[in-house]
Amino acid sequence: MALIIRSPDIDELPGLSDLCFRSKAVWGYDEKFMEACRRELSFAPQDLEQTHVAVAEEDGRILGVVQIRISAAEAELLKLFIEPEVVRKGTGRALFAWATDVSRRTGASRIVVEADPGAAPFYRKIGARDAGQAPSGSIPGRMLPRLVFDVLR
Ligand SMILES: CC(C)(COP(=O)(O)OP(=O)(O)OC[C@H]1O[C@@H](n2cnc3c(N)ncnc32)[C@H](O)[C@@H]1OP(=O)(O)O)[C@@H](O)C(=O)NCCC(=O)NCCS
């Protein structure tokens, strides 16, 4: 069955927040760390108006979610999370391609990612370049790899 990329409904947001939490946990963080990240891993209803969100669905099951925020020439990747049991099957690449399309259509020329260190090799693999570090939005004092993906016209 084919992978469908579509917008989520508002009543799917709590389930998507849970998906992000499960997905982030694959890197083996402890409970305290995960709780500190919970807000950043959650969706709020206004996200559907203020940002661009898409899910990847196959056989009626949601396998992953992506969220970007566009401001002028720059798109910020806020979330990209895949269900743990289906990682490395192309879902992340498909959702990132959707984010690239939206960025191109809305005039953004690059996508900036403040990545989990475990996910940085994925972004490099799909064409992003390293661009320094950025402070974590959840854990004071933690620095994250910052990567930039150029959106080709
Ligand atoms: C990182 C993540 C989004 C990647 O999505 P995915 O569906 O597993 O990745 P894909 O299958 O589309 O992989 C695309 C390519 O990147 C490679 N890749 C994926 N994850 C990788 C990793 N952790 N390390 C090295 N390469 C990786 C794949 O092998 C594939 O290469 P190929 O085209 O040569 O086969 C996913 O693993 C995930 O959700 N991880 C946990 C949560 C997380 O950290 N999210 C990112 C927050 S910034």
Structural domain count, the chain: 1
Whether the CB of 80 sits within 6 Å of ligand 1: yes
**Is the model's pTM score more than 0.95?**
yes
Whether the CB of 81 sits within 6 Å of ligand 1: yes
Centre of ligand 1 to C-alpha 62, Å, is: 17
CB 138 within 8 A of CB 37: yes
3-class SS of residue 55: strand
**Res 84 pLDDT > 90:** yes
Residue 68: per-residue pLDDT: 98
Whether the CB of 67 sits within 6 Å of ligand 1: no
CA dihedral 77, 85, 40, 29 (to 10 degrees): -120
Q: Let me know how long the chain is.
A: 153
For residue 100, the surrounding DSSP H or E stretch is helix 91-105
Q: How many CA atoms are closer than 13 Å to the CA of 122, on its beta-carbon side?
A: 20
Domain containing residue 53: 4-150
**Res 92 pLDDT > 80:** yes
DSSP at 51: S
Categorize the per-residue pLDDT at 72 as very low, low, confident or very high, splitting at 50, 70 and 90. Answer: confident
Centre of ligand 1 to C-alpha 128, Å, is: 13
